[in-house]
Amino acid sequence: MISKTLRRVAAMDRRELGWRAAAAARVAIDRARFALAPPQWRRRALAARLGPSLEHVGALLRRQRFDDAHRELSRHFARRAPCFVVALPQRPQIVERIAQLFPAARDEAVRRGDGVLFGAYDLLGYRGLRFDASGSFAWNSDPVHDRRALRGFWATVPYLDASSGDHKIIWELNRHQHWLVLGRAFWLTGDGKYRDRCVAELASWMEANPPLDGVNWASMLELAFRSLSWVWALHLFAGPDADDRMPWTVDLLLGLDQQLAHVERNLSLYFSPNTHLLGEALALYVCGRALPELAASARRADAGRRILIAEISRQIAADGGHCERSAHYHRYTLDFYLLAAVIARITHDPVAGLFDRTVERLAGAARLLADDRGQLPHLGDDDGGMLLPIAGRDPLDVRDSLATASMLLGREDLAIDGPHEETSWLLANPLFAGLGTSEIPNHKSFPSGSLPETGYFVSRWSDGTHIVIDGGAHGFQNGGHAHADALSVTVRASGVPMLIDPGTACYTIDAVRRDRFRSSAMHNTVTIDGRSQSTPDGPFHWSHTADASVTRWRVDDAFDYFDGSHAGYDGLVHRRHVLALHRDVLIVADLVDGSGRHEAAVHWHLHPRWTAAAAHRSIVLTGPHCVRAFVTRGGTRLFHGDGATGLGWMSPAYGRIDPTTTIRITHEGEAPFWMATVFDLSAAQDVDAVDAVPVWAEAGTLARSVGLRISRASSIDYLLIAEPESSHPRTTWRIAEFETDAHMVFVRTASERQAAWVAIVDGSTVRGAGRGGLRIVLPDPVAALHVDMAAGGSETSSFKLKT
Least confident of 87-96, 138-147, 387-396, 762-771: 762-771
Q: Kind of pairing, strands 126-130 and 744-749? A: unpaired
Comparing CA positions, the residue from 361, 446, 372, 374 lying closest to residue 409 is 361
Comparing CA positions, the residue from 278, 285, 421, 390 lying closest to residue 346 is 285
Q: Is the pLDDT of residue 456 over 90?
A: yes
**Number of Cβ atoms within 10 Å of the Cβ of 761:** 23
Q: Please report the pLDDT score of residue 792 as a whole number.
A: 55
Q: Please report the pLDDT score of residue 784 as a whole number.
A: 96
Q: Is the pLDDT of residue 368 over 80?
A: yes
Q: Is the pLDDT of residue 58 over 60?
A: yes
Q: Over the stretch 750-795, which tens digit does the pLDDT of each residue have?
A: 876 788 899 999 999 999 876 557 889 999 999 999 998 876 544 4
CA distance 667 to 645: 18
CA distance 20 to 26: 10
Q: Please report the pLDDT score of residue 124 as a whole number.
A: 87
Cβ-Cβ contacts under 8 Å for 739 (sequence gap 6 or more): 732, 733, 765, 766, 767, 768, 769
Instruction: Find the DSSP H helices in 388-429.
Output: 399-409, 421-426
Q: Over the stretch 462-495, which tens digit does the pLDDT of each residue have?
A: 999 999 999 999 988 887 899 999 999 999 999 9
Least confident of 226-240, 359-373, 424-438, 788-802: 788-802
Comparing CA positions, the residue from 607, 635, 602, 578 lying closest to residue 525 is 602
Cβ-Cβ contacts under 8 Å for 68 (sequence gap 6 or more): 60
CA distance 477 to 312: 16
Percent of the chain with pLDDT over 90: 79
For the chain, which residues make up each domain, given as ranges? 1-37, 39-281, 316-446, 452-683, 686-803
Q: Is the pLDDT of residue 334 over 90?
A: yes
Q: Over the stretch 612-644, which tens digit does the pLDDT of each residue have?
A: 999 878 999 999 999 999 999 999 999 999 999
**Number of Cβ atoms within 10 Å of the Cβ of 119:** 15
Q: Please report the pLDDT score of residue 273 as a whole number.
A: 83
Cβ-Cβ contacts under 8 Å for 207 (sequence gap 6 or more): none
Q: Please report the pLDDT score of residue 794 as a whole number.
A: 42
CA distance 748 to 789: 10
Q: Please report the pLDDT score of residue 797 as a whole number.
A: 38
The confidence band for 384, taking pLDDT boundaries of 50, 70 and 90, is confident
Q: Is the pLDDT of residue 106 over 90?
A: yes
Least confident of 132-136, 151-155, 290-294: 132-136
CA distance 515 to 520: 10
Q: Is the pLDDT of residue 515 over 50?
A: yes
Q: Over the stretch 704-715, which tens digit does the pLDDT of each residue have?
A: 899 999 999 889
CA distance 639 to 619: 13
Q: Is the pLDDT of residue 418 over 50?
A: yes
The confidence band for 18, taking pLDDT boundaries of 50, 70 and 90, is confident
Question: Cα dihedral angle (16, 17, 20, 24), rounded to 10 degrees?
Answer: -170
**What is the CATH number that goes with domain 452-683?**
2.70.98.70
Asked whether the beta carbons of 638 and 629 are under 8 A apart, the reply is no
Question: Cα dihedral angle (253, 256, 262, 266), rounded to 10 degrees?
Answer: -140
Among the CATH numbers 3.30.230.10, 1.50.10.100, 3.40.718.10, 3.50.50.60, which is that of 39-281?
Answer: 1.50.10.100
Q: What is the DSSP annotation of 257-302?
A: HHHHHHHHHT--SSSSTTHHHHHHHHHHHHHHHH-TTBTTHHHHHH
Q: Please report the pLDDT score of residue 8 as a whole number.
A: 61
State the Rg of the chain over Cα: 29
Considering the chain, what is the average pLDDT of its residues? 91
Q: DSSP state, 728?
A: S
Amino acid residing at 374: G
CA distance 600 to 576: 13
Beta bridge partners of 606: 499
CA distance 700 to 205: 76
Q: Over the stretch 144-187, which tens digit does the pLDDT of each residue have?
A: 999 999 899 999 999 888 888 999 999 999 999 999 999 999 99
Q: Please report the pLDDT score of residue 405 as a whole number.
A: 97
The confidence band for 4, taking pLDDT boundaries of 50, 70 and 90, is low
Comparing CA positions, the residue from 456, 794, 505, 555 lying closest to residue 660 is 505
Q: Please report the pLDDT score of residue 755 as a whole number.
A: 87
Terminal-residue alpha carbon distance, the chain? 53
More confident residue, 417 or 751: 417
Q: Is the pLDDT of residue 446 over 90?
A: no
The confidence band for 506, taking pLDDT boundaries of 50, 70 and 90, is very high
Q: Please report the pLDDT score of residue 750 as a whole number.
A: 83
CA distance 714 to 51: 80
Instruction: Find the DSSP H helices in 209-247.
Output: 220-237
Phi, psi of 231 (to 5 degrees): -65, -40
Q: Please report the pLDDT score of residue 443 as a whole number.
A: 56
Q: Please report the pLDDT score of residue 800 as a whole number.
A: 40
Q: Please report the pLDDT score of residue 162 as a whole number.
A: 87
Q: Is the pLDDT of residue 690 over 90?
A: yes
CA distance 607 to 508: 25
Asked whether the beta carbons of 282 and 338 are under 8 A apart, the reply is no
Which range, 2-11, 205-214, 264-273, 693-702, has the best average confidence (pLDDT)?
A: 205-214
Distances (CA, A) of 635 to 82, 526, 619, 632: 66, 14, 11, 10
Collapse the DSSP code of 669 into the 3-class scheme (helix H, G, I; strand E, B; otherwise coil) and give the result: strand
Q: Kind of pairing, strands 687-693 and 618-622? A: unpaired
E-state strands within 131-217: 141-142, 147-148
Report CA 290 to chain centroid distance, whole Å: 28
- Buried b / exposed e along 210-245 (16+ C-beta atoms within 10 A): bbbbbbbbbbbbbbbbbbbbbbbbbbbbbbeebebe
Least confident of 128-137, 398-407, 518-527: 128-137
Note every long-range contact of 352-357, with CB atoms under 8 Å and residues 24 or more positions apart, other chains counting: 354/309, 354/312, 355/308, 356/408, 356/409
- Span 24-43, average pLDDT: 93
The confidence band for 798, taking pLDDT boundaries of 50, 70 and 90, is very low
